[in-house]
Each structure stands twice: as structure tokens, then as C-alpha cells.
A and B are shown apart, each in its own frame.
Chain A
Amino acid sequence: MSLSSIRPRVLSLVLLLLLTACSAVAQITLRTETASVGRLELVVYPFTPDGDAAFIGELPVQLSDLVKGDLTYSGYFNIVSPSDLPPDTTVQVKRVDGKLDSLVTFSGSTAARVRGTVSLGWDMARASIAIFQPPLREPIHLSEFSFKADKARDAAHDIAAWITRMLTGEEGAFTSQVVFVVKTGQNKDLWMMDWDGANAHSLTRDQTLNMSPTWSPDGKHLYFTSFRNGDADIYRYDLASGSVRPFVQTPRTDSAPSVSPDGQWVAYASSESGNFEVYRVHPDGSGKTQLTFNGRDDTSPSWSPTARELVFTSDRSGSPQIYIVDFEGVDTRRLTFDGNYNETARWSPRGDLIAWCSRESDLYPKFQVFTVMPNGGRERRLTEGGNKFDCSWSPDGMKIVYTSQQDGKTSIWTMNWDGSGARQLTFGLEASQPQWGPAVPFTTP
């Protein structure tokens, strides 16, 4: 069974059980199912030129390499080299009536195969991609992708997303981007990069502190905290125009925005009442509602995928710990009990897990990334060594992006949801506070 195909079903089962039965049953279900997780085997053959090979050049192989890299990184597939496949076998079969012998070929592996051809016009290229599933000889899926020849990387993300959708039903995170913060001297600016770390570029250059960015679910806006007007306020960045508008501005600190997955609400923390409380407000500024009420500080809200609940940090117990509050701000429950500093909780888009960072030492900065089920079960540590913090989920819930501080360098990494497959995305930048955005296709197949 592939992870990709079972995980959503497991989740709906778990959710069902959470609703109908006691939570202990749900825990056992998830643990049993995840233990049997494997990845879908897939062969990606080098794409071939369709037309004048000399004119088309390296583009086909470049494209298939990029697709292969994407599919490997995604966490859904085990990419098998064609040379590692067991050979096909052909046997002679005698029919029962003894009248005829026939030759039957058995595939050495039932791994799906991807083949592609690429043609090239003046500046536009076209890739025809086919997915085969042995023993069937005809392709089970076919699609064409047009793209500018210098945008092979974007096309590869779209092709990988299509292959994944066809074979697993999952959308993946191939076409998503990550917003993050780069520190230069005393200032911090917002930056953006593709999900694999490519195309990193700055969005702001303001000579001020811009931090804690988060996405609107349609991928069109960022909300972030900025000191551009003296103290910390929340601003909205329009990605199409690059314009910045104030969103929440009180005379005190306003920070830590988080947009609900339905786009209806922006949760944030503000000290306007004297201490930090969590609020939610519509993107047009109406309907402001206070969700936490106590004399201590509450901050870092993050929505559940259904927008029914929020996870946040509160030091009401005397140290920062993770809590969950419902949409109305009525019921609050505590999620973390171990350690004296638990912060920056983020709810997986799949709903099954909450990731957060827990400080393991008071003596020096030393956070590690953990996950736990929303009912408090299956607490699990994902990272070790160095200082790992600022977690955020990929839009498909398969990966976590985080900040890693090691040997005096601060950079952004990703890992799979179980802690495997750590990969460095930023180099040579003092980068932190990554937030993973939605998957928005680059081109239309």
C-alpha cells in the first residue's frame, strides 16, 4: 500500500472515530496503519526529443531529471532506476486443450512507468507525458504540457503534480512556494522561494523589521508583522502588485497573523488590552472577536483545517505551552505538558497532527520539532541536534519546513512529516520563519 493512498482514508477513519468513539481507538488505528506505510514504486525514463534532436538539445533530459527530483522529494514515490528493475520474463504457455502454445511476457516489476517526449518551437516547448501501468501495454494516463522553454522548472512542477494526482489522487505541494524572513544587519525582509528552494528572491526592502509572514489560502496575499510604523503592527502584502497595506494597527503590539483555511478570518495576537490575547477578524476588518481571556499572554494562533478550532501558545500555567481553543473562544484545552517552553504550533492541513517547537535546554537556544495528535496522543520528536524551530506544514501535509541553526548559520530546511528526508533549502542567507503556501499551478495542462 502506498502512503499516499492510505493516509487520507486513514484520516477520515480517524476523524470518524474521533467523532463517534473514544480517542484511544483512533490512536491505535493511526499507529497500526502508519506502520505499514510504503511508497509507490515509479520508473521515470529520460524524456526523448520529438523532432530535431540537435535543435531540442538537452531540454527533454533536463525536464525528466527535474520531474524525477520533484517526485522523489514529494515523499509519495520510490523512484526506481530502469536498470534496477528485474528483467521481464517470457514463458511459453500451453493451453489446456493442448492445441496451442503461446508466449506470455511477465513484467519483472509492477512499478508504474513515466515516459515523455518534448518538442520545441521558437520559444515554446511542448511535453507529452504518458503513464504506463504494467502489464497493460497502453498508457493509462496521457497529458500534454506547453511551457516557455526557459521555464522548464515550472513545467516540471506541473508535470510532477499531474503524475502524482493521476497515480495517488493527491495534489502534492509541487507548485507551492515558501515565504520566509531574511535578516540583514538589524533589519528583516520577506523573501519567497519555490518549494524546493529554487528562485529565492526578496519581496520587501524596507530598512525595518518585517517578520512572521503567513499566507491567505488562495495564495494571493501575505499577512505579516512589521515595525515600519514604529511598533509592531500587522500588514497585508498583495503578491500581484507588491503593495503593502496596514491591517491591524493598535498603539500596542499586534503580531502573529494566521488566516483560516476558508479565508474568512485572520487570527492574530495583540496586547491592546494590556496583555497578549488572541483575536480573529474578517479580512475586511469587520467582526473582530476576542478568543482568549486571561491576565497572561496568548499568542501564535494557527487554524485547524476545518476552521473550527485554533491552536495557540499561552503562558497561563507559568511557562509557554500549547493550547487549543474553539472558534467561539469558549472551550480551551491544554495540549502540551512536557518541557517548560512549547511554542509556534501549526496544525497540519490534513488535520491529523499538530507540529510545534519545544525548547530542550535553558542554557542555549535549543529547540526541536515535535508532532502530536490534536487529542494529545502520539507525541513524537522529529528532529535532533542543533536548534530547530519555526515549523510550518506543506499544503498536502506531507512535509514540514523549519529553521535550523547550526554552526552559527541559520537556514531553512524541509523534512517529511515523520522526520525523514531532511533537505536544506536556503544557502548563504540568515533565513528563518518559513511559512509554506498553497499549491497554485504554474501552467495549465
Chain B
Amino acid sequence: MKSQKLGLLALLTMLALTLAVAPGCKKKMPKEGDRPEDGGKKIEEVTGGEDKDGTTEDKISEMERDLALIKVVYFDYDKSELRADGREAVRNNADLLRKWPDWKVTLEGHCDERGTNEYNLALGERRARAAQRALEAEGIASSRIRTISYGEERPSDPGHTETSWSRNRRAEFRVDVH
């Protein structure tokens, strides 16, 4: 996890440097499905803000803020169907992905520790794919989505109670900001 965070930081830093030192860089076009009031406009700000001091930092801090708004989808025990709160989380994340059309997302399926390692790889994959289908139903292009299953190997909560397990039965959205 730490390395992923570092990687994200590195990406953001690179983005900042690129934007700061490349005044002639090509203007990025909003993609299909972008809502002009958020995604399109913000992109405009990024590319148009090259000659204005501070805008790049604003942009990055906004992106960081939005990254923090990405939600985790949680599942019921032994299940891979999305619950109501899971569908809500997918809608929330789809909005953010529409706003940031350069974002790509890796959906990580996870399980609690009560199954076997092998079967949990399959269950985790079903959860990641359920989240993928819901995201595609929200209009996010499948080319922006990758899935991976970690089974029970990467718990977010190391505990051994139902509270911990309910936090570990999840699909995480790992965003690659490019």
C-alpha cells in the first residue's frame, strides 16, 4: 500500500513538473461523456493554467481532493452482488471518473479470511467484475478499467471479528492519474 501511495505521489509530482516546464504542451480535449460543468472545465483549467502562477498546484490539490473522494464498495459475506450502498459508491466513483477522463482505474477484489486462499481468489475476482459491470453501466469505458483479485491476501483490517471482515469484503478503486 505504501509503495502505491508513493507511486501516486511520484505521478502527481511528475504531472506538476510536466505542466510547469511544458508551456507548449497540447491542449487536452474533454472526452465523450464528460460533463462540461466539471470534468471538461477542470481540464481546461489544467491546460490553460500553464502561464498563470499557482494554478497547477490548485489543480493538483483538487485532484488529490477528488482522489480522496473515491469510495470502496463493500460486499456481504460470500456474496459478489452489489448492495445498495455499493451501487451508490460506484455512482460516486463514476462521477469522479467522468470528471477526470485521464484517470484509469484498477478494481481490486478482496475477501475476508474465512474461506480458502484459492477459492477467495475466485470470489475476489467476482467482486471486482461486479464493480466493473456497474461502472460500465454508468458509462465508463471498459478500456479505462482493469480488474485484479487479491483474494484474502490483502486485508484492509487485520482483525478477526465481523467488523474487520466486513471491511475486508470489498472492491477497491485504485486510480492511475496518468
Q: Which residues of A contact B (CB under 8 A)?
A: 186, 188, 209, 211-212, 225, 227, 230-232, 252-253, 255-256, 269, 271, 274-276, 297, 299-300, 313, 315, 320, 341, 343-344, 357, 359, 362, 364-365, 367, 389-390, 408, 432-433
Cβ of A357 and Cβ of B122 under 8 Å apart? no
Chain A: CB-nearest residue to B124: A253
Known contacts A253-B125, A297-B122; A341 and B153 CB within 8 A of each other? no
Q: Are A297 and B154 within 8 A (Cβ)? A: no
Q: Which of B13-21, B47-55, B67-75, B113-121 contacts A (4 or more CB under 8 A)?
A: B113-121
Contact yes or no, A300 B149, CB < 8 A:
no
- For residue B149, which residue of chain A has the nearest CB? A253
CB distance from A52 to the nearest CB of B (A): 55
Name the interface residues of B108-165: CB closer than 8 Å to any CB of A.
Answer: 113-119, 121-123, 125-126, 129, 147-150, 153-154, 160
5 contacts between A and B (CB under 8 A): A186-B1, A209-B153, A256-B121, A297-B119, A344-B116
Q: How many A-B residue pairs have CB under 8 A?
A: 86
A-side contacts of B150, CB under 8 Å: 209, 227
Which residues of chain A have C-beta atoms less than 8 A from B122's C-beta? 253, 269, 271, 275-276, 297, 299, 315
Residue contact A362 to B114, C-beta cutoff 8 Å: yes
Cβ–Cβ < 8 Å partners of A256 in chain B: 118, 121
In the complex, what's the smallest C-beta–C-beta distance from A122 to chain B, in angstroms?
48
Instruction: Tell me which residues across on chain B come within 8 A of A315, comparing CB atoms.
Output: 119, 122
Given contact pairs A186-B1, A186-B154, A297-B126, A230 touches B148 in the complex (Cβ within 8 A): yes
Question: Interface size on B (CB < 8 Å)?
Answer: 23
Query: Is the beta-carbon distance between A269 and B148 smaller than 8 angstroms?
Result: no
Contact, CB under 8 Å: A341 / B125 = no
Cβ contacts under 8 Å, A364 to chain B: 114, 160
Where the two chains meet, the residues of B that have a C-beta atom closer than 8 Å to any C-beta of A are 1, 77-78, 113-119, 121-123, 125-126, 129, 147-150, 153-154, 160
B77: chain A residues at CB < 8 Å are 362
Q: B148 to A300, Cβ gap below 8 A?
A: no
Task: Report yes or no: B117 in contact with A320, Cβ–Cβ below 8 A.
Answer: no
Neighbour of B149 across the interface among A186, A211, A232, A343, CB < 8 A: A232
Beta-carbon contact of B121 and A359 below 8 Å: no
A255 touching B115 by the CB < 8 A rule? no
Contact: A255 with B121, CB < 8 Å? Answer: yes
Contact check, B114 vs A343: say whether CB atoms are below 8 A apart.
no
Contact of A299 with B119 at beta-carbon distance under 8 Å, contacts A271-B125, A364-B114 already known: yes
Chain A residues closer than 8 Å to B119, beta-carbon distance:
297, 299-300, 313, 315, 320, 341, 343
**Alpha-carbon gap, A437 to B48, bound state (A):** 64
CB < 8 Å neighbour of B121 from A186, A299, A357, A390: A299
Q: A186-B1, A225-B121, A320-B115 are in contact. List 14 more A-B contacts (CB 8 A).
A: A188-B153, A212-B118, A227-B153, A231-B148, A253-B121, A269-B118, A269-B122, A297-B126, A300-B119, A313-B118, A315-B119, A343-B116, A359-B115, A362-B77
Residues of A within 8 A of B78 (CB): 362
CB of B125, distance to nearest CB on chain A (Å) = 5
Closest residue on chain A to residue B153 by CB atoms = A209
CB-defined contacts of A252 to chain B, threshold 8 Å: 125, 147
- Chain A residues with CB under 8 Å of B121's CB are 225, 232, 253, 255-256, 276, 299
Contact of A276 among B116, B117, B125, B160 (CB under 8 A): B125
Chain B: minimal CB distance from A298 (Å): 8
Check if B118 sits within 8 Å of A299, measured CB to CB.
yes
Question: Considering the chains assembled together, what is the distance between the CA atoms of A357 and B114 in angstroms?
Answer: 12
B128 to chain A, nearest CB (A): 10
Task: List residues of chain A with CB within 8 A of the CB of B116.
Answer: 300, 343-344, 357, 367, 389-390
